[in-house]
Amino acid sequence: MSWILVSQMILAAILAIGLYTIIGFIPGTDETSVLMPISLTLILTGIHPLVALSFFVAAFVTLGLMNLMPTLVIGLPGGVMSTPMISHALFLKQQGKTATAIKKATLGSVIGVCISLPASLILMQLISPIIEPLKAHAAWLFILGAIFLSLISKAKILSLLSIVPLAILFQSLRSLYWQIGLVPEGKNITTSFFLGITVAPLLLSLLSLFHQEERKKLERKHYQQAYIPKIPPHSLNPKGVLTSRERKSSILATLLATPLFVLSPVGLTILLGEMMGKKEKDPVKQAETTIVTMSALAQGTYMSGLVISVIALGIPIAPAAIGPGAAFFEAPPIFSINHTITDQFTTGELLVPFLVGSSLALVLVYLIAMRFAAPLTLFVQTKIPHEAILAIFISLVVLLGYMDAGLLNVFAIILIALACGTLNRLGVNYGIQFMTLYAAPFLIQLFS
């Protein structure tokens, strides 16, 4: 591997850190919707695959860490992964522990990355004898994954019932495209449909504004008020920030989550985070331990899912790969499911972007989070319109959908967004919908 390529990876990682440092401070941004369109756009420009991978790794580590800041500072969820921490963050804020919570959560994220990366490599070695059977039966894994996620969701029956109808919707649109000659027969339009699922809740909310009664429900007479506490300067030295119990809890939770990489990252974060936190009797220590553990899991579950899917399997099985990392399996020709990145590069070469992206993101974002969490939160909240960011992502989805299969495909994305957005509101989560999308061709064949 040449130094020029490594330099490009470093530059791409730094650009990702700069971009997602700002995006991460914006509350309400879903990880998939802000990572997938930009990474896919970058890949479609023809950039070297390892450079794109370095950009993406730095982006998701940065986003995962920065999403914690609006949650901890003002009590608003930065992204889906930070939502489980809100109640604990608000409690610590009432106790005047915001500065402490930021330091602890930041170090929790560092632990999550540092533990999950080597743990994933060890797990890869353990599952290496069954990698080919796993790849050969990937369709069954997607179906079983959708069923399992349905059974552990709140809307169990509805989630189970939605699997086959969603598969019919996805596959019927593909068949329509083949029939009218919009795309060559046999070509699966997956990327656009995936984007339709990703932006479904957002697009459904925007389209609801055209309904008079729904629009009235959203009207507000006053601006939302948010209190940003003054955070005094403090040392960047991480020594003594975490207690022994907090370090052990975050390490143990990350190790437990790594072999469960096929499960929902949010589900694992809630389950293991709360479990570790309840070991503490004191309410303050309980909240702090839970936040440290959850921040470690937020990073660790993404890292393990992506490492194993990209390097070991070459197919998107983990939710982190099916969701935010889907671009690396959809953008032709290198990253498609049938001709993966693992056919082009060795394991060692694939590890380099993970190491470059994650290490740069951890060092730079740690410094930023420690010094500028409150000022940056205030700047983003007052100077950057949330609507402008959302408009960028919607426009990218429309552009990529048009590039995939023309204008008709843009309307198909709207159809998918309406269906999946409605189901999402009723409790059918992203993971079930994503796995159904990938399982759809095989699932429909079972009925023929």
Please state, in angstroms and rounded to a whole number, the distance separating the CA atoms of residues 407 and 228: 45
Residue-averaged pLDDT of the chain:
82
Residue 383 has pLDDT above 70, yes or no: yes
CA 239 to chain centre: 30
Q: Which two tokens stand for residue 106?
A: 């930041």
Find all residues with CB under 8 Å of 444, minimum gap 6, and list them. Answer: 167, 168, 171
- Summarize pLDDT for 257-314 with one digit per residue, the tens: 998 887 778 778 888 888 898 888 889 899 999 999 999 998 998 888 888 888 877 7
Q: Which two tokens stand for residue 43?
A: 């890949």
CA 336 to chain centre: 20
pTM: 0.73
Contact yes or no for 282/77 (Cβ under 8 A): no
Total length of the chain? 448
At residue 251, the pLDDT reads 94
Residue 192 identity (one-letter amino acid): S
Give ∠ CA 372-378-381 in degrees, rounded to 5: 130
- Summarize pLDDT for 300-352 with one digit per residue, the tens: 988 888 888 888 777 777 878 877 787 777 655 444 444 444 456 777 888 88
* Average pLDDT estimate for 144-153: 83
* Four-residue CA torsion sign, 346, 351, 352, 357: positive
- Summarize pLDDT for 217-228 with one digit per residue, the tens: 777 777 766 566
Please state, in angstroms and rounded to a whole number, the distance separating the CA atoms of residues 166 and 428: 11
- Summarize pLDDT for 385-422 with one digit per residue, the tens: 767 767 777 887 788 788 778 899 999 999 999 999 99
Closest CA to 297 of 82, 43, 120: 82
pLDDT level of residue 111 (50, 70, 90 thresholds): very high
Query: Residue 260: how many CB atoms within 10 A of its CB?
Result: 17
What is the percentage of the chain residues whose pLDDT exceeds 70? Answer: 89
Closest CA to 394 of 189, 209, 169, 201: 201
Residue 319 identity (one-letter amino acid): P
Please state, in angstroms and rounded to a whole number, the distance separating the CA atoms of residues 230 and 211: 41
Residue 389 identity (one-letter amino acid): I
At residue 206, the pLDDT reads 85
Residue 183 has pLDDT above 50, yes or no: yes
* Four-residue CA torsion sign, 210, 215, 216, 222: negative
At residue 233, the pLDDT reads 61
Q: Which two tokens stand for residue 408?
A: 């008709």
Please state, in angstroms and rounded to a whole number, the distance separating the CA atoms of residues 295 and 289: 10
At residue 337, the pLDDT reads 40
Residue 178 has pLDDT above 50, yes or no: yes
pLDDT level of residue 360 (50, 70, 90 thresholds): very high
At residue 129, the pLDDT reads 80
At residue 377, the pLDDT reads 63
3-state helix, strand, coil in the chain (%, to 5): 75, 0, 25
